[in-house]
Amino acid sequence: MEFSLYHNPRCKKSREALQFLEEKGIRFKTVKYLDQKLDPKALAAILSKINLKPSEILRKNELLWKKDFSSKNLNEDQILQLLVENPKLIERPIVTGPESGVLARPLENLVDFLKGN
């Protein structure tokens, strides 16, 4: 089985997940989602695999969110579009397999996920 790691190289938690997967010899492809932007359909598919709503992977401590969007009453579809347009607001790292996935923050989430796959 091959996994995908949705990765931001500047994020410590994302680098930890990458290192963990490499050390365990797990085959995966790296998706640098800040460079390879996700479209709404792709992000919705990822959310379906990790069983989370757009609002649950939104980085609410980001200045961009606080300054421009936190005062707006956005529904889940609007948040999904916001995440597509501003991938910096996506919580990371995310690891997916063919049928399921996990928000790998903290790293223990990834460890538990891999035990079940």
Per-residue tens of pLDDT for the chain, all 117 residues: 689 999 999 999 999 999 999 999 999 999 999 999 999 999 999 999 999 999 999 999 999 999 999 999 999 999 999 999 999 999 999 999 999 999 999 999 999 999 988
Global pTM? 0.94
Q: What's the token pair of residue 59?
A: 């980085």
pLDDT of residue 116: 85
Note the CATH number of domain 3-115: 3.40.30.10
Name the H helices within the chain: 12-23, 40-50, 63-64, 76-85, 107-115
| Lookup: tokens for 100 | 């399921």
Is 11 catalytic? The answer is: yes
Choosing from 2, 11, 62, 83, the catalytic residue is 11
Instruction: Return d(Cα 34, Cα 30) in angstroms, integer.
Output: 12
* Residue 87 β-bridge partners: none
Largest CA distance in the chain: 44
